[in-house]
């Protein structure tokens, strides 16, 4: 059974850093497209970043240069390193599997506030 479990969210001050994790089971993260998607409170879905099986990475313009997607194949875990956080980055962050997102985690809330 495919499972995705995010962790690492919390309250962080503007300008701070946070690393989100997405532990996968039932498949190998290095064999598929893995993305991060976020949803601000009361707002729509926003795609954040993707890492391909071959390791190529791509980002939405609003996080480019601040966020880094990566994975640890030995831990079968996806990461999102978030630096220079802003209030507008406040959202639930989901990891998702696939070219179209057939599997989602439950999400982890990131709150950027002083």
Partner 1 sequence: DIQMTQSPSTLSASVGDRVTITCRASQSISSWLAWYQQKPGKVPKLLIFKASSLESGVPSRFSGSGSGTEFSLTISSLQPDDFATYYCQQYNSDSRTFGQGTKVEIK
Residues 33-52 that bind partner 1 (CB under 8 A): 35, 37, 44-47, 50
User: Does residue number 104 form part of the binding site for partner 1 (CB under 8 A)?
Assistant: yes
Which residue matches tokens 């995705």?
Answer: 4
Residue 22, exposed/middle/buried by CB under 10 A (0-12, 13-18, 19+)?
A: buried
**Is residue 74 within the footprint of partner 1 (CB under 8 A)?**
no
Which of 23, 60, 68, 70 binds partner 1 (CB under 8 A)? It is 60
Residue closer to partner 1 (CB basis): 8 or 107: 107
Distance of CA 68 to the CA centre of its chain: 9
The four Cα atoms 7, 24, 82, 72 give a dihedral, to 10 degrees, of 130
Q: Minimum Å distance from CB 64 to partner 1?
A: 10
**What is the Cα–Cα distance from 48 to 67, expressed in whole angstroms?**
9
Confirm or reject binding of residue 54 to partner 1 (CB under 8 A).
no
List interacting residues with partner 1 (CB under 8 A).
Answer: 35, 37, 44-47, 50, 56, 58-61, 94, 99-102, 104-107
């Amino acid at each position: 059974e495919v499972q995705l479990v995010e962790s690492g969210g919390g309250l962080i001050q503007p300008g701070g850093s946070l690393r989100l994790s997405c532990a996968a089971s039932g498949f190998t993260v290095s064999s598929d497209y893995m993305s991060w998607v976020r949803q601000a409170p009361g707002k729509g879905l926003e795609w954040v970043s993707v890492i391909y099986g071959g390791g190529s990475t791509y980002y939405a313009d609003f996080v480019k240069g601040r966020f880094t997607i990566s994975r640890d194949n030995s831990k079968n875990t996806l990461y999102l390193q978030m630096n220079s956080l802003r209030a507008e980055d406040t959202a639930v962050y989901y990891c998702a599997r696939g070219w179209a997102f057939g599997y989602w985690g439950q999400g982890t809330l990131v709150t950027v506030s002083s």
